[in-house]
Each structure stands twice: as structure tokens, then as C-alpha cells.
Amino acid sequence: MNNKLLQLAVEKVIGRSTQMYSFHHIGGGEINQSYKVITNQGVFFLKVHDLDRYPKMFEKENYALQVLAKTQTVEVTKCMGICIEEGQEFMFLEYIESAPMQANFWSLLGENLASLHMQTSRYFGFQEDNYLGSIIQLNNRISNWGQFYIKNRLLPNVRKANENQFLDAAHLRKFEKYFKIVEVLFPEEEPALVHGNLWKEHVMAGGDGNPVLCNPSAYFGHREMDIALSRSVGTFNKEFYEAYHSTYPLQEDWEVRVDFCLMYYALVNLNTYGIPYLPSVEDKLNKWVK
């Protein structure tokens, strides 16, 4: 990162009188590079990416954070501001110094997530499209979850995978049968406000040791989507599921539907990382369609 460029971004977001003491690269992947920025106005977590590749990504993330925060059900990271300099988009967030988890950390997270999922809407979808990782996530409003899930989540990614030559005609024929199952599989529920990207790396212990969520891909969807992803990468303690279920019980056979929820994330991984992720998609497809 260029010092002069970063200083311009800091002054634009934090203030012209801000003095930057130091910054440290703390990670990065194919989308964002992240930094710890120390200034006389405080310490900030900074994410940076090429604007041309991911237009309005940070604006959409910030909007999702604001929507989640307004519910007063879950604690989320706070965005301090966004700016653009020399084709780079900068997002400054509060820097959270991790603390040891409180004894009731996972139970509290389960209760809070259940409360978030009780926030509802007339339709499945969201006010705008957003991102899941680097993949555009469509949020066209539909009143039926099965139809929403097919038209806004599964079908766009199946088409993209086919265009990328990861899926062939045989796969497409099986997906046509798979969609017929999905359309009628899920029990009727009101649309729930979901985090949308709830795996363990996006759960932190804040300074008080209580859970803080980051990197949402929020929308009004079926709440089993969050629960399914929480079971796929890393480990959420059993206290989380017990507390969630006691606050907002999941419907019968939800564990069977986990596999169907995870198909979306498997397709996103396939389109993001390529052919090594095809077996995950095929396993889920072949399990239910012959």
C-alpha cells in the first residue's frame, strides 16, 4: 500500500487533521487486502480493493451492516466511512481487539441470531442486490421461498458454472429435476432477516467478550440458510444451536434441508475457485437426483 494514497484516504474519511502513525498489512485474498491503521484519532480496520472489479461492494456491505444494526438484535462491526482514491475503494471499520469469549458466548449468539431471524418482511429478497464473496447475489423480491431460492440463488449460479464450463448438459438436466424438489421442499415461514454469510470466520469476540458479526450478505430469506452455513465451515458450539432452538425452534426435518441450503454456497465456491469445488456440487446433486 502506498503511504501517500493511504494518507489521502484516511484524511478523506477520518478527517483532514488526522495524523497516521503506522499501518500494518494483516491479510488479504482475491478480493480485499486488509490493514490495521493506527492514527491520532484511533485504530481502524481497513479493507481495500480495485473499484472496477467489485463496484459498490463496500456500499452494499455497509448498507447490510446498517440494516442488521437497526434491529438491535445482533452486534455488528461499525463502518466509519468509505472513499475512493485512484481506482481503489477503501472501507474503514472500527478495529475490534479480540477478547476471551464470555462463558455464555455461544448461547448469547444463538439467542441473538434467533431474534434477528424474527425480523420479517412481506417478501423474500432485499432492497438491492449485493455480494456473496465476489459473486453478485440477486435479491429480486418473491413471496415464495422455493421460487426465490431457485431464481435468485441456484439458477444464476448454475448458468454461470455452465458458461465457465464447470457444468455440462448432464448436470443441467439433473438440476432441472433438483429444482422441482427445492420448490416444494421447504416448510412455509415468513421471510427472515438473515446474515447471509454466517460461518465461523465472520464471528468475533468483541472487547467485552460478547459476539460481534462482520461481513454480512444480508437479505430476507429462509432462516435455515444461516443455520446450514454455520454447520459447514468451522465449529459453532452445541450451546449455540440449543439456545437458538429454545428461542425460535426450527421446523421438523431441518437437518435434512441443510444439504439443500448448502448447494448455493457450493455453487458460489465453484464459480469463485473453479473445478476443485465441482465434487461438492455433484455430491449434493447426485444425492437427491438420479
Instruction: Output the CATH code of domain 3-94.
Output: 3.30.200.20
d(CA 217, CA 130): 7
CB 45 within 8 A of CB 36: yes
Three cell numbers, residue 149: 431460492
Instruction: Give the three cell numbers for residue 91.
Output: 472501507
CA–CA dist 143, 239 (Å, integer): 33
**What integer pLDDT is reported at residue 159 of this predicted model?**
98
Question: Residue 83 has which C-alpha cell?
Answer: 472513499
pLDDT for the residue 28: 79
DSSP-assigned beta bridge partners for residue 22 = 38
Residue 218 contacts residue 195 (beta carbons within 8 Å): yes
Question: What parts of the chain have a pLDDT lower than 50?
Answer: none
Q: What's the pLDDT at 235?
A: 79
CATH architecture of structural domain 105-288: Alpha-Beta Complex (3.90)
Three-state DSSP string of 106-153: HHHHHHHHHHHHCCECCCEECCCCEEECCEEECCCCECCHHHHHHHHH
Q: What are the extents of the domains in the chain?
A: 3-94, 105-288
Of 113, 96, 100, 110, residue with least CA distance to 43? 96
